[in-house]
Structure 1
Amino acid sequence: MDRIKILVVDDESRMRKLLKDFLEREGYRVIEAADGLEAMERFYEDKEIALLILDVMMPNMDGWQVCREVRQSSKVPIIMLTARSEERDELQGFELGVDEYISKPFSPKILVARAEAILRRAHALDAEQTLNAGGISVDKSAHQVKIDGAETELSYKEFELLTYFIENQGIALSREKILNNVWNYDYFGDARTIDTHVKKLRNKLGDKGNYIKTIWGMGYKFEVE
């Protein structure tokens, strides 16, 4: 079996080497890029890249620009690395379709664990399972969502969130439980991370966004009316 390819983008060679060493130790194949322009070249050259680990502050083309360009044509998962820890930067990352947001300094082992969780969900979808709820159809193998028969474009995290909601119809889900299951790690930040994704998902679902009920002071519940 071919090794899964991960594109690591950082202008610091020491950081690239650190991540490469840890990822290759776990059996991944690492492709490196020193700035945003080189990252886009590598990304367009290799259609088998399964994950981007992307630094924000880089010369020539920063991580935000790379993320915007990648999202125009791909839903490939993105982990954003940054020295910043301000909340607005994190929310901006999620708005652009970032799947994970990790502030420097960080534990390489934790980053690898999060990368593995993302890749596991992306590549281990049940090939035969299709979820249906109130006119919404979720094909987990094709990573495709249809609303009343019309295909709807969702980001990777929006797809995972909708799938989790439908699989837990009628169950009140706390923000902590959603984060632990959809993001697959304990999150000690602001609950607006979830709220931002829910708002975008509701908008994309149109009238059916009303299926996602807000439970004040707790979280959300998916319920077909």
Structure 2
Amino acid sequence: MHEATILLVDDEPAILHMLQIVLNKEGFRQIDSVGTASQALEYCRRKRYDMILLDVMLPDKSGFEICPFLRETTDAPILFITAKNSDLEKLTGFAMGGDDYITKPFNPLEVVARMKAQLRRVKRYDEDRIKHATSDSIVYDYGRFQIDERAGELTVEGKTVACPAQVFQLLLFFCKHPNQIFTKSQLYEAVWGENSIGDDNTVTVHIGRIRDRIENDSKTPEYLLTVRGLGYKLIRKEDKL
């Protein structure tokens, strides 16, 4: 039996019922289901969830619209479900704070597989934090920002900045390998632990999330640079002199 708490958000009762049955068969028991954006926001304010399946097309507000507000209360992986399959739609979902994306009609077993993959990543991240909590603190200092590996904290200009697990892990990887160029495939395999086929957009969006946090101007980055045709690298301020 899985201990993870899950929130299903979809305005189609048949889909909610089907997912509930499949998840129960897979050992998930702590599942809540709602049909509107307002209900999703209310549930997340009252309860901690480990995974959220969020339909994009809801009757009151879209899943894209409420995702940033959900991110104010939870770092749980958010899996968008939608009938649209364009690259723009996927990029929008990632930019709004989503972690994965699946289109209708879908195989419910694929949804469960993607959920389990996300939950494994979060568990691995939490275990790493616990392991580092028992060792000496390791802080990577880049002048404008510092990242504390043991505490799992990002500090920018003296202020702690909220940082979802995968954004933190990607930035930490860069901090451990300054001035080295990495392709999107290398970054995906290093941080997400899987083959990167079809997941270049995930890396691109997470690079943007890092820049939003550490750069003075994310459109003209000074630390996390794009090396045209090769990939990305993180440089120290003193290395630019």
Fold in common (TM above 0.5):
yes
1:221 aligns with 2:222: no
Aligned-pair CA distance for 1:25: 3.0
Question: Kindly tell me: are residues 190 and 5 of structure 1, through their superposed partners in 2, closer, same or farther at Cα, counting changes over 3 Å?
Answer: closer
> 1:185–1:30: structure 2 CA closer, same or farther, 3 Å change rule?
farther
Does the 8 A contact of 2:141 with 2:147 survive in 1?
no
Q: Which has the larger radius of gyration?
A: 2
Check 1:186–1:57 CA distance in 2 against 1; reply closer, same or farther (3 A cut): farther
Correspondence 1:153 to 2:165:
no
Q: Name the CA shift for 1:42/1:73 in 2 (closer, same or farther; >3 Å).
A: closer
The alignment partner of 1:85 has SS state of coil
Counterpart AA for 2:175 = I
The total of aligned residue pairs comes to 224
> 2:107 and 2:181 mapped to 1: Cα distance?
33
Change (3 A) 1:199 1:43: closer
Matching residue of 1:81: 81
Normalising to structure 1: TM-score of the pair? 0.82
Whether the 8 Å CA contact 1:131–1:166 is kept in 2: the answer is: no
Tell me, yes or no, if the aligned pair for 1:50 and 1:76 is still in contact at 8 Å.
Answer: yes
Pair 140,21 (structure 1): closer, same or farther in 2 beyond 3 Å: farther
Match of 2:139 among 127, 132, 137: 132
Matches within 5 A, 1:5-20: 5-20=5-20
Checking the alignment, whether the CA contact within 8 Å between 2:22 and 2:109 is kept in structure 1 is yes
Quick one: distance in 1 between partners of 2:189 and 2:111? Answer: 16
In structure 2, relative to structure 1, the CA distance for the partners of 1:20 and 1:166 (3 Å cut) is: farther
In structure 2, list runs of 5 or more residues that go unmatched.
none
Tell me, in whole angstroms, the C-alpha distance in 1 between the residues paired with 2:21 and 2:193.
23
Q: Quick one: percent identity of the two aligned structures?
A: 29
User: For residue 222 of structure 1, what is the amino acid of its counterpart?
Assistant: L
Secondary structure of the corresponding residue to residue 123 of structure 1: helix
| DSSP 3-state at the match of 1:221 | strand
**Partners of 1:184 and 1:84 in 2: CA distance:** 27
Corresponding residue for residue 102 of structure 1: 102
**1:7/1:192 Cα in 2 relative to 1: closer, same or farther (>3 Å)?**
closer
The one-letter code matched in structure 2 to 1:42 is: Y
How many Å separate the matches in 1 of 2:154 and 2:41? 27
Shift of 1:155: 3.5
- Equivalent residue number for residue 34 of structure 1: 35
Aligned with 1:176 (options 168, 172, 185): 185
> Shift in Å at residue 204 of structure 1?
1.3
Alignment of 1:50-65 (within 5 A): 50-65=50-65
Q: Which SS does the other structure have where 1:122 is aligned? A: helix
Q: CA RMSD in A?
A: 2.9
Is 2:84 aligned against 1:72?
Answer: no
TM-score by length of 2: 0.78
Q: Where in structure 1 are there 5+ consecutive unaligned residues?
A: none
Letter in 2 for 1:74: T
